[in-house]
Structure formats: structure tokens, C-alpha cells
């Protein structure tokens, strides 16, 4: 039996997005980092663009795909956990790639991982997943400490580069 979109009464809401990493560099064992999961409150799946070229055809030009795809950097906004473990782990990963003093770069395989962005329904069942391949952190945003009425949560932003992404269907 095939279900139509009107048969699905579950809804996806912002509380139901998460980003799951396997062991994040520079951690060395599972005790350092069991699957790091970021509680994302906003993100946009980045642009994927097919490279085009103009070709001559019948006295004019037409655009034709070359086959190469390019992907924009990915930015996620997440909630910082109560002991800053997620923010600190991302910072250690950033410093592992280039600490600015004794190490300027590392082999790609030493800092790239695959990560899974998941959308869940109201019952916690995964309904949509995007796998980002050869992903690494290239920016970690500020955490603002302030005391104001309103949102009592600390938030941060992380930006990632990657080779490509794909839908897990």
C-alpha cells in the first residue's frame, strides 16, 4: 500500500532536528566521545550546484551540465549543553586541525568524518536524514554570557566544510 502525503499526520518541528557525529577528532577512544549529538535549533541544508558550461549548438549556445557538483559550507545553530561538553569538543576538533602555533595543518584523514543530520517525527522516529561526507569544522561561533529576561539557554554556531552530502533514503 502506498501512502500519500495526506496520510502522514506526524509533523516535523524545530525541536526534532539533531546532528550526530561519530568519534570526533582528536578524541582517541569512545570514552572521550560517545556519538556527539548536537541539539540543533536552526540550520539550512546548503546549496548543491551542478557546474554548467555553455556549448555552441545550431548557431546559438545552450547550457549543459559538466557533472561536477559544488556544495556551500554548512552552518548549524545549536544549544550548548550544561557543562559545555559539546562546545568544548568542537573547539578541540578545531584546534586539532590547526592550533596556530605548533601545527598548521594535518592530513585530511586525521580530521574528516562523516556526520548525520536527522529530522525526527513527534515520536522520535527518523523521517529524514542527510549524510555529510568528509566533514570537518572550520568555524565555531561565540557563546554570549548575559543575564536578561527571555531565553535562558546558551547558544552557539558551528560552520562545517565537507566534500558532499547525500540523502539517506
Taking only the tens place, the pLDDT of each residue in 67-126 is 788 899 999 998 888 888 888 888 888 888 876 676 666 555 678 889 999 888 777 778
Q: What percent of the chain has pLDDT over 90?
A: 20
CA dihedral 18, 131, 85, 93 (to 10 degrees): -150
169/167 Cα distance (integer angstroms):
6
The answer as to whether 157 is a domain residue is yes
The answer as to whether 7 is a domain residue is no
121: domain range? 12-167
Give this prediction's pTM.
Answer: 0.74
The answer as to whether 19 is a domain residue is yes
CATH assignment of the domain containing 118: 2.30.110
Domain count, the chain: 1
Amino acid at each position: 500500500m502506498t501512502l500519500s502525503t495526506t496520510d502522514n499526520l506526524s509533523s516535523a518541528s524545530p525541536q526534532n532536528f539533531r546532528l550526530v557525529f561519530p568519534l570526533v577528532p582528536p578524541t582517541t577512544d569512545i570514552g572521550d566521545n560517545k556519538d556527539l549529538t548536537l541539539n540543533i535549533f536552526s540550520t539550512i541544508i546548503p546549496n548543491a550546484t551542478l557546474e554548467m558550461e555553455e556549448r555552441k549548438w545550431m548557431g546559438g549556445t545552450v547550457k549543459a551540465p559538466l557533472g561536477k557538483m559544488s556544495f556551500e559550507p554548512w552552518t548549524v545553530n545549536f544549544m550548548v549543553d550544561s557543562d559545555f561538553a559539546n562546545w568544548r569538543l568542537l573547539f578541540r576538533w578545531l584546534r586539532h586541525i590547526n592550533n596556530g602555533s605548533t601545527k598548521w595543518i594535518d592530513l585530511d584523514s586525521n580530521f574528516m568524518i562523516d556526520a548525520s543530520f536527522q529530522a525526527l517525527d513527534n515520536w522520535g522516529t527518523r523521517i529524514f536524514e542527510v549524510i555529510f561526507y568528509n566533514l570537518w569544522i572550520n568555524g565555531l561561533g561565540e557563546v554570549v554570557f548575559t543575564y536578561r529576561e527571555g531565553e535562558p539557554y546558551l547558544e552557539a554556531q558551528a560552520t562545517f566544510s565537507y566534500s558532499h552530502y547525500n540523502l539517506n533514503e
